[in-house]
Amino acid sequence: MKADYLPRLVARIIDLLAAAALAHMAKPVGFFAGLTYLLIADGVMPGRSLGKAVIGLRVVAADGRPAGLRESILRNLPFGVAMLLAAIPWVGWLLAVAVVVLEGLLVVGNDRGRRLGDEAAQTHVVNARSERSIDW
């Protein structure tokens, strides 16, 4: 079963705050630490980023196993691009916001709760207690 929208949003906010904290710790290396966190977060603790672990969600691949680093990088690439765009004043910020809003709309509008990153990585987010794969 797909995870509800509100827990996913809260988990994403936690992850974005963690990435922002890393990005502001030690410039310019911190920016790359935050970007790296965003990309690999779901694969370090298999299928769970910091936010997903706190909220009780997990990312699973099409075969039902927890997402690894490859799936994490693929599914979080749009957010990595948004972070890179946000480094460009004004226009970059607007494009970054557009990417994040688009991903959010896709989660709500997709009957399987999959955003662009999930489609690319063939993953979906489930409640950690019910880690079954849905029909692809």
pTM score, two decimals? Answer: 0.86
The single-letter code of the amino acid at 2 is: K
pLDDT of residue 136: 37
Cα separations in angstroms, 4 against 18, 72, 112, 127, 135 = 22, 20, 11, 8, 17
Element (H, E) at 57: strand 57-61
Structure tokens at 28: 């310019």
Whole-angstrom Cα distance, residue 56 to residue 132? 14
Whole-angstrom Cα distance, residue 7 to residue 27? 31
User: Residue 8: pLDDT above 70?
Assistant: yes
Band (pLDDT 50/70/90 cuts) for residue 133 is: very low
Express each pLDDT in 38-97 by its tens digit: 999 999 999 999 999 999 999 999 999 999 999 999 999 999 999 999 989 999 999 999
Domain ranges of the chain: 5-126
